[in-house]
Amino acid sequence: MVVLICLVAWLSPALAARPFRIYAVTYRGATEVERGFADYFAERGIPVEITYRDIALDTARLPALVEEIRRVRPDLVYTWGSGVTLGIVGPWDQADPARYITDIPVVFSLVAAPVNARIVPSMQSSRRNVTGVSHVASLAAQMKVMSAYKAFRCVGLLYSPNEPNALAVLDDLRAEGRRRGFTVQARAFATDAAGKPTPDGVPGLIGELRRAGAEWLYLPPDSFLSTQAKGLVVPAAQQAGLPAFASTEPLMAAGALAGLVSRYYTVGQFAGYKAEQILVNKQSPSRIPVETLTRFSLQIRLTVARRLGLLPPLAMFNYAEMLDADFSAPAKPAVEPTR
């Protein structure tokens, strides 16, 4: 007995120092999110050993990774984006233990709409071994910022009719419009014979929105829209004199006038924080809510603002980050949307 106690006493510091093993699965290589995730542990002095696996946009590789995770049995699995996360944990109501990871805690990051993607039944709890962070500001916060920039009574939207995510955003936007007193003009992308969206006729659709009274073009987190934003949608909007508001950093990078976006690095830190709750504080993932950030960056493209004759109101110089400016000002603070 005494020997046993001595052994435990001798071993325990060694046990404590053993790094946590994390298995990270990414979609298109390491991003700022992973840097923020790893930096979080370093900053908090939590020893971790992260194994990275990348599927290079090919979700067919996921079942093999699930097998590997079963074999290696890490302390925690980290996933990037809706596709990877669904491939590892499955939908919440059809999580077959034979196909998905159910007995190892999973923290996801960069999932735009975790409920719509059926990763979790509600933001409060996944009711299973999963938690994570979203990177999109609430629609209410985005609309508030939009109207602070330029008050509007009608907002326009282009969406992919085959994406449940996009349809969900449209519903939410209409509900928000009823609350805040604005109307929504929505046009679906044209579709091919297979029902997939095509870029045909985008300038015409935008012209329709403009004529229907839209004062902003809202760019929701929509996969097809993201592929067409830079080359087609945003330039067409500018041509029509319609300001575009981006909901994610890539859409902002496509040349939108303004956007309330999260920094990928911070999203990674937040995922690290959730992982800390599980690994160090021994909390069950089902008891950790799925959350989005409380502070986002308001980005404004001044060159576009000038072209559209829509300079931002003075107060926004206090907190917005000006892109493509003639003058490189110091970093600007983030915006705190009211939740």
Partner 1 sequence: MHANRSPTEIAESAAAPLARLFAVAVLVVLFGVGMSAFLNYFKFQSAVESAARSRMAVPASAVREGVQASLALGLPLASAAAVPDLLARERQADAAIQAISIFDTAGRVRFSTDARAVGTTVPATWLAAAGDAREVWHLVAAGFAVQGLRLRNSFDVPQGSVAVSYTTADQQQALQRMRAALLRIALVGGAGSALLAMLAVWGVLRTWSARHGARARDDGTQGHSAPLQARLAGAILLVAVLGLGGVSWATQRAFDANLQPELARKAAVVARSVGELVGTAIHYGIQMPELVGVEAHLADVRRQHPELARLAILDTRGVPRFAVGEHTLEAGVRVPIGDAAHPLGSVEVGVSAAYLRSILFEVLLDLAVVFVVAAFLTRELLQFITATDPRLGAAPASGGAVLARMRVPLFLFMLAEELTRAFVPGFARALLGASVNVSTDVAVGVPITVFMLVVALGQAPLASWSERVGLRRAMQWGALVGVVGLAGAALAQGFHAFIAWRALCGLGYATVFVAAQGVVIAHTTQAERTRGFALFVGAIMVAAVCGPPLGGILADHVGARAGFAVAAAVALAAVLAVRLLPRDASGAVIASPRLSWRDVVRVLGERRFLHITVLAAVPAKLILASFCFYLVPIYVVSLGAPTAAAGRALMVYAAVLVLVLPWAAHLAERGVSQALLVGGGLCVSALGGFGLLLWSGVAPVFLAMALLGLGQGLSIAAQSSLLSLACAEEIREHGSAALFGAYRLIERLGNASGPLLAGGLVASFGHAGAFALIAALVLACGLLFLLLAGAMRGTQVVAVRA
Count CB-CB contacts under 10 A for residue 263. Answer: 18
- Using CB under 8 A as the binding rule, whether residue 172 contacts partner 1 is answered as no
| Cβ 334 to partner 1 shortest distance, Å | 4
Give whichever of 33 and 84 is closer to partner 1, judged by the CB atom: 33
Give whichever of 62 and 146 is closer to partner 1, judged by the CB atom: 146
- Using CB under 8 A as the binding rule, whether residue 151 contacts partner 1 is answered as no
- Using CB under 8 A as the binding rule, whether residue 294 contacts partner 1 is answered as yes
Of 108, 144, 148, which Cα lies nearest the Cα of 128? 108
Contact between 105 and 285 (Cβ < 8 Å): yes
**Look-up of token digits 């944990």:** 89
Task: List the one residue from 129, 160, 165, 297 that touches partner 1 (CB under 8 A).
Answer: 297
- Using CB under 8 A as the binding rule, whether residue 52 contacts partner 1 is answered as no
DSSP 337: -
Q: How far apart are CA 126 and CA 319, in angstroms?
A: 34
| Cβ 146 to partner 1 shortest distance, Å | 14
- Using CB under 8 A as the binding rule, whether residue 330 contacts partner 1 is answered as yes
- Using CB under 8 A as the binding rule, whether residue 208 contacts partner 1 is answered as no
Instruction: Tell me the window of 118-126, 233-241, 278-286, 326-334 that interacts with partner 1 (CB under 8 A).
Output: 326-334
Task: List the one residue from 233, 275, 293, 304 that touches partner 1 (CB under 8 A).
Answer: 293
Contact between 88 and 66 (Cβ < 8 Å): yes
Of 25, 41, 19, which Cα lies nearest the Cα of 77? 25
Tokens of 156: 């326009």
Question: Between 272 and 291, how does the x/- string for binding to partner 1 read (CB under 8 A)?
Answer: -x-----------------x
Give whichever of 101 and 300 is closer to partner 1, judged by the CB atom: 300
Give whichever of 103 and 326 is closer to partner 1, judged by the CB atom: 326
Question: Between 230 and 269, how does the x/- string for binding to partner 1 read (CB under 8 A)?
Answer: --------------------------------xx-xx--x
Contact between 260 and 221 (Cβ < 8 Å): no
Give whichever of 96 and 326 is closer to partner 1, judged by the CB atom: 326
Instruction: Tell me the window of 69-77, 116-124, 236-244, 324-332 that interacts with partner 1 (CB under 8 A).
Output: 324-332
Q: Which residues pair with 107 in a beta bridge?
A: 78, 131
226 HSE (CA, 13 A, CB side): 12
Tokens of 281: 């504080």
Question: Between 8 and 47, how does the x/- string for binding to partner 1 read (CB under 8 A)?
Answer: ------------------------x--xx--x---x----
Of 138, 139, 141, 135, which Cα lies nearest the Cα of 264? 135
Task: List the one residue from 45, 181, 327, 338 that touches partner 1 (CB under 8 A).
Answer: 327
Classified as helix, coil or strand, 33 is helix
> How many chain residues interact with partner 1 (CB under 8 A)?
39
DSSP 232: I
42 in the Ramachandran plot: left (φ > 0), alpha (ψ -120 to 50) or beta? alpha
| Cβ 40 to partner 1 shortest distance, Å | 9
Strand ranges inside 69-182, DSSP E: 76-80, 106-109, 130-132, 154-159
H/E run at residue 292: none
Q: Which residues bind partner 1 (CB under 8 A)?
A: 32, 35-36, 39, 43, 133, 262-263, 265-266, 269-270, 273, 291, 293-297, 302, 311-319, 322, 325-327, 329-334
